[in-house]
Amino acid sequence: MSTAVQSSEEPRALPRPPWGRHLAAVAVLAVLLALLPLVLAPAQQAVAVRVLIFALLALGWNIMSGFGGMFSFGHAAYFGIGAYVSVWLLVERGVSPWIGMLAGMVAAALFAALIGFLALRYRLKGAYFALSTFAFAEMLRLLATNSDLVNRAVGYNVPLRGESSWAFIQFEPGAAEYLWIALALTVAALVVTIVFLRSRLGRFTVAVRDDEDAAAALGIPVMRTKLLTIMLSAAITSVAGTFYVQYYFFVDPDVAFGSSVSIQAILPAVIGGVATIWGPVIGAAILGPLNDLTATLLRDPPPGLEFLQGRAGLDVMVYAVLLILIVLLLPQGVYGAIRERWERR
C-alpha cells in the first residue's frame, strides 16, 4: 500500500541519469583550465580558445542531433545569426556584445523554431531533414551576401576601442580574459547539457528519439519537445558565433554561414562521441591542436615536404581522414568507446 502511494508521488517513468559525477568533473576541469594562462604561451592560448569555440559549437549541435536524433547539416545558420545579430547591434547601434549575445540567442532560437516547425510539420526525416537544414543555412548565406543591411559580402570588422573592456569583450591580443570568457561559456553549455539531460525535457527528447510512436502514445508532446530541443541547440551554437566575432574581430557571410561552419559543428561531436556529454569537448580538444599542428607543418615543412610551403588544405584533409576512420572504426567516437570499455570491466 505505502509503496503504491510513494510511487504515485514520485512517478519515475524514465531513469534520471546520475549527474553528480559529471558536475564535479566540470568543476574540476573549469578550475584547471582557468589556470592555463599561467603556463601557456600566447600562441598556445589561442589554440585553447579555438578548442573552446569548437566545443561550444559542437555542444549545441549535439543537443539537437545527438540527444534529439535530428541530424542537422545547417548549424552554420545559428552560428551566423549569433555572429551577425551581435556585431550588427555593436557596429550600427553601439550595443554591448553581451546584450548582442542574448539577442543572438533569441534570434537563433526563433529562426530554429520556424525552420524546425516547417521541417517537422511536413514530416521530413533522415536525409531530407538534413538537406532542409542545409538549404536554410545556405539561403541565409546568400541573403547576407547580397543584402545592404549587413554590408553584403564585405561583412563587419569589430571597431577597436583602444582599451580593455569587460563590457565590450575586448582586451589586449592574447589576454587571459578571452580564455576565461570562452571557458565560462563552454562550462555553462556543459552544465546546461547535463541539466537538460536530467530535466523532463531532456528525458522526453531521448524518449522521442528512441521511439517516437511509443513516446507519443505515452502522452509526450512530440512536436513541442522537438522544437524546444532545437531551440536550445540553436541558442548554444549562436553563443559560439557571438564570441567568435569578438575574438577574431571579423565576420563575413562565408565565415558565418558557410557550410564549413556546419561541418565544424559536426566534427568534434562525431569524433568525440555523438549523444554523450563529454564527446564534443573531447573531440574539440583533439581537433584544435591538430589544426595548429598542420598549420605549423605548412608554414615550416620538414625536409622532403618543402612543396607544402605556404599551401592550404592540409588541415581539412587531416580532419577528413580522421572523420572517415572514426565513423568506420569507432562509430561511438573516442569518448563513447572509452566509456564502453570502462563499463565492461
Coil, helix or strand for 165?
strand
When computed from its CA atoms, the radius of gyration of the chain, rounded to whole angstroms, is 21
Of 65 and 170, nearer to another protein (C-beta) is 65
Stretch that binds another protein, among 50-58, 132-140, 165-173, 221-229 (CB under 8 A): 132-140
Q: Among residue numbers 88 through 117, which ones bind another protein (CB under 8 A)?
A: none
323 binding another protein? (CB under 8 A): yes
Give the CA dihedral 90, 111, 224, 12, nearest 10 degrees: -40
Report the C-alpha gap between 63 and 232 in whole angstroms: 8
List the grid coordinates of 160.
577597436
Q: Among residue numbers 49 through 78, which ones bind another protein (CB under 8 A)?
A: 71, 73
Of 43, 128, 184, 223, which one interacts with another protein (CB under 8 A)?
128
68 touches 274 (CB < 8 A): no
Stretch that binds another protein, among 16-24, 159-167, 189-197, 316-324 (CB under 8 A): 316-324
Burial class (CB in 10 A: 0-12, 13-18, 19+), 14: middle
C-alpha pair distances (Å), 276 with each of 145, 232, 255: 36, 16, 28
From residue 141 to residue 170, the character string flagging contacts with another protein as x (rule: CB under 8 A) and all else as - is -xx-xx------------------------
- Shortest distance, position 319 Cβ to another protein, whole Å: 7
327 binding another protein? (CB under 8 A): yes
Coil, helix or strand for 13?
coil
Of 78, 79, 136, 243, which one interacts with another protein (CB under 8 A)?
136
Of 34 and 316, nearer to another protein (C-beta) is 316
Q: Return all residues near 275 (Cβ < 8 A) that are at least 6 apart.
A: 62, 66, 67, 69
Of 37 and 283, nearer to another protein (C-beta) is 283
72 touches 133 (CB < 8 A): yes
Of 38, 41, 217, 312, which one interacts with another protein (CB under 8 A)?
312
Name the one residue in this structure whose C-alpha cell is 625536409. Answer: 303
Stretch that binds another protein, among 49-57, 85-93, 196-204, 327-335 (CB under 8 A): 327-335
| DSSP state at residue 278 | S
Report the C-alpha gap between 73 and 135 in whole angstroms: 9
- Shortest distance, position 89 Cβ to another protein, whole Å: 25
Of 30, 91, 102, 139, which one interacts with another protein (CB under 8 A)?
139
Report the C-alpha gap between 74 and 179 in whole angstroms: 27
Of 12, 311, 341, 344, which one interacts with another protein (CB under 8 A)?
311
Residues that bind another protein (CB under 8 A): 71, 73, 118, 122-124, 126-128, 130-132, 135-136, 138-139, 142-143, 145-146, 259, 263, 266, 270, 274, 308, 311-317, 319-321, 323-324, 327-328, 331
